Structure 1
């Protein structure tokens, strides 16, 4: 039996690029999660009798909010809910389930790469029928509804058993608890040459995968060890934990340093990889080389034809604006388009649906393809393994040959986390005020060619997204980009992206931060970072 509960709005439920993210104590306020879930249901159209996919990354509060979502889905008229066993479902696996079973949409409970625990982060986002994150017109409608909501509907039924695979009922709605790994693993077998990868591993090729006590553990364990034959112990930290075992589940050189050090050590594994809280990001490391996400996208695009799913070629490549221009050079040689979009995977959805792009990537360790409508960490690792197996070369050899052919884009991101929001906004506003006067100015050996506030004109639906980041382009092809991140839950994160193109192979082994030194100094000079934020150094450098 369902009931209608009176409620009042909260004034802080504006979704970001990946849904609503707040600290757990915010979400545990009475009616807080319920208000947002009801606002989703009130904003997405006629779903009566349709199917909703639900799952999460296993972080603290995951099970409780799944139970709430199931009961609210029943009370609001969904015909069926499909939920991952134990409440577990990686973000790319959720996208696959929505698409494969033609669900109306899905609710994913995650704060992605952010920490988990009783005082850490939680999130709720809605994905549409194409399997991708809701576009801005839907998230805007959800936000408007949160400001007016005065009631929500919920069933008074008992909790569903999430640990037993099978079906049950909540009021008139069917609830199916399914194996969260099986359908995803089947999809990966269709995309990649598992026989070639299996043979490569059997020949002595060693991989180490750090699941960071997050959602990809069960997926990597099943695929890498059980199906591809990697020795037991190849997948580390494979049990999803509510607090990620104290890890910060962000696969980068800071938070996955132990994996990096192991792969770089004498006698270390041939290849290392890590994934994040909800399974959509990846870090890849070859013995002797860290592969930046920007380079990874470019190298995967150049070699994708070696995997069965992409042997017919790529329709196009898409990258987020801050991602390096390495993929542009691959697209040019392949004779295909390379699209530059705002940050946020939802912007790739239209390109993928319209078959304008096949591979997509972001510098924030996210890569994916048209197999789902989310970035996919384990997919990227498997594509790398497919390429390594077919080429029979080390990751370092592949990277060096790629640079020799296309040139090297020296690239780094400097993050200033937890800045006072007012100060961060003031810095960006001041930069915007300088844009018209910057072209033609010089700093050391740099001369500004162009400066703008990036606006994206979607080639599919004609929509325009403005103020997506400030770009300063120099005559030598270098770039500095400034933007504020929308993925944190407290304060603001200023991201500064630095890129220098070097075509000369004799200069491809230089140290990245030294190569970018003039750009780093320019970024401080033009944005007055220390003066405006009080920060004399980045929190994280990747």
Structure 2
């Protein structure tokens, strides 16, 4: 039986860069998840009888909301739901399923790299038919609907069995529980030279992947251990757990420090990687070398043709504005397009669909290509292994050779997490008010050349996205960028990005924070971070 349930709006159901994210107790309120899911459906047209993909990263409350979403999809007229076994689908795997089976769209349940647990984070986002996150015109419509919603529709039926692969029925709608790993592995085998990577591992290169108790465990185990021949146990923390086993599933130098330290030790592995909660982010570490996400994007682009799926070359590169300009120099040398977008993977979708860009990346440990419409952590790891196999060099050798050829972009991100929201907004307002007066100002040897609030004009659909981050550009190519992140659930996260280009290979061995010290001080000077936020130091430095 289909029920129409009366409801009232909740404040604050505005999707951020990756959907709606709140603490589990917020989502667990009666009607809260239902309101948002119904608002998604109410903002779409033409889905009657179509297929909807549903899956998540296995975090706490994942299964409960999947049952709700399935029953609401049936009540709202979808013809079929495809859902990952156990409710599991990594974000890139969900994108692939949407694309491969030509689904109308998908609901992805994740809060990405944020912690999971009864009092931690949860999230819902909608992906469109190209497999990518909904564009702003849809998320704006969803938010508008959440403010006036008065009813939702749901099938009053028993929960389905999420653990049994096969077909079930809910109020005339087909529910197909699928193997969440198989289609993704097939895609990776079509893109990379598994034989060369298998030979690399068989030849003695030790590879480890830390799945951090999150969704990529089954994917990494199937690929690395079963297909590529790495020893059992090469995938660490491989079982997806509702609280990620207590891990903070953010693959950076703070939360994946144990892996980093292991690779850096004399007896440790040659290559290490970590992935995040929903499988779309990655960290790459080689013996003696941490690879920044900005450098990773540039090196993948520069070496793309070693992978069979990219042997014909790439059409262009896209990066988020805060990401370093390292990839720009690769694009210039290759004579291909280079696109700078706001933060948020949805901004790459039009460029990928139009064939303007092939590889794209964000400094926040996200890299991907036109094979799906999400960033893809394991894809990036396999690309690196393919490069290692083809070049027969270590990670450190490859990175240093790249710097020698293109120059080094010293780069760091300083995060100030859970800052008082009013204080963070005040800091950004202060910077915006200062924009006109900043050019010409000096701080030590640094002189401000230009300052703006980044706005993006989409070259495909003509849409404009304003207020995407404050940029202070210094003479000589250095810069500092300030923006508030849209991925947190408590307070505000201030991100400060600091970058200096160094063409002189003799100066490529300086400690990053030391190389950026004057720019870090300039960021404090111009933004008054300590005074306005009360924070003496960043929460995380990457």
Please give the secondary structure, in 2, of the residue aligned with 1:497.
strand
1:441 CA displacement: 1.1
Please give the secondary structure, in 2, of the residue aligned with 1:139.
helix
Structure-to-structure mapping, 1:14-53, within 5 angstroms? 14-53=14-53
Q: Deviations over 1:200-242 (max 9, x none)?
A: 1101111010000000000000000000001111000000000
For 2:417, the equivalent position in structure 1 comes to 417
Q: For the residues of structure 1 that align with 2:370 and 2:524, how far apart are their CA atoms?
A: 39
Q: For the residues of structure 2 that align with 1:515 and 1:387, how far apart are their CA atoms?
A: 28
Give the TM-score normalised by the residue count of structure 2. 1.00
1:12 CA displacement: 1.2
Q: For the residues of structure 1 that align with 2:377 and 2:122, how far apart are their CA atoms?
A: 20
Q: For the residues of structure 2 that align with 1:86 and 1:515, how far apart are their CA atoms?
A: 47
For 1:317, the equivalent position in structure 2 comes to 317
Q: For the residues of structure 2 that align with 1:445 and 1:305, how far apart are their CA atoms?
A: 41
Please give the secondary structure, in 2, of the residue aligned with 1:333.
helix
Q: For the residues of structure 2 that align with 1:338 and 1:193, how far apart are their CA atoms?
A: 27
Structure-to-structure mapping, 1:317-466, within 5 angstroms? 317-466=317-466
1:337 CA displacement: 1.1
Q: Deviations over 1:132-166 (max 9, x none)?
A: 00000000000000011000000011100000100
Q: For the residues of structure 2 that align with 1:470 and 1:156, how far apart are their CA atoms?
A: 49
Structure-to-structure mapping, 1:74-473, within 5 angstroms? 74-473=74-473
1:36 CA displacement: 0.2
Q: For the residues of structure 1 that align with 2:226 and 2:208, how far apart are their CA atoms?
A: 14
Please give the secondary structure, in 1, of the residue aligned with 2:261.
helix
1:21 CA displacement: 0.2
1:59 CA displacement: 0.2
For 1:11, the equivalent position in structure 2 comes to 11
Confirm whether residue 60 of structure 1 aligns to residue 82 of structure 2: no
1:514 CA displacement: 0.6
Structure-to-structure mapping, 1:519-534, within 5 angstroms? 519-534=519-534
Q: For the residues of structure 2 that align with 1:338 and 1:483, how far apart are their CA atoms?
A: 22
Q: For the residues of structure 1 that align with 2:55 and 2:324, how far apart are their CA atoms?
A: 33
User: Where in structure 1 do 4 or more consecutive aligned residues deviate above 3 Å?
Assistant: none
Q: Deviations over 1:110-140 (max 9, x none)?
A: 0000000000000000000000000000000
Q: For the residues of structure 1 that align with 2:512 and 2:158, how far apart are their CA atoms?
A: 57
Q: For the residues of structure 1 that align with 2:154 and 2:285, how far apart are their CA atoms?
A: 47
Q: For the residues of structure 2 that align with 1:9 and 1:482, how far apart are their CA atoms?
A: 33
Q: For the residues of structure 1 that align with 2:426 and 2:441, how far apart are their CA atoms?
A: 22
Please give the secondary structure, in 2, of the residue aligned with 1:71.
helix
1:40 CA displacement: 0.3
When the two chains are superposed, the root-mean-square deviation of aligned CA atoms in Å is 0.4
Q: For the residues of structure 2 that align with 1:268 and 1:351, how far apart are their CA atoms?
A: 40
Unaligned runs of 5+ in 2: none
Q: For the residues of structure 2 that align with 1:248 and 1:267, how far apart are their CA atoms?
A: 26
Tell me how many residue pairs correspond in the alignment. Answer: 542
1:267 CA displacement: 1.8
1:44 CA displacement: 1.2
Please give the secondary structure, in 2, of the residue aligned with 1:214.
coil
Please give the secondary structure, in 1, of the residue aligned with 2:303.
helix
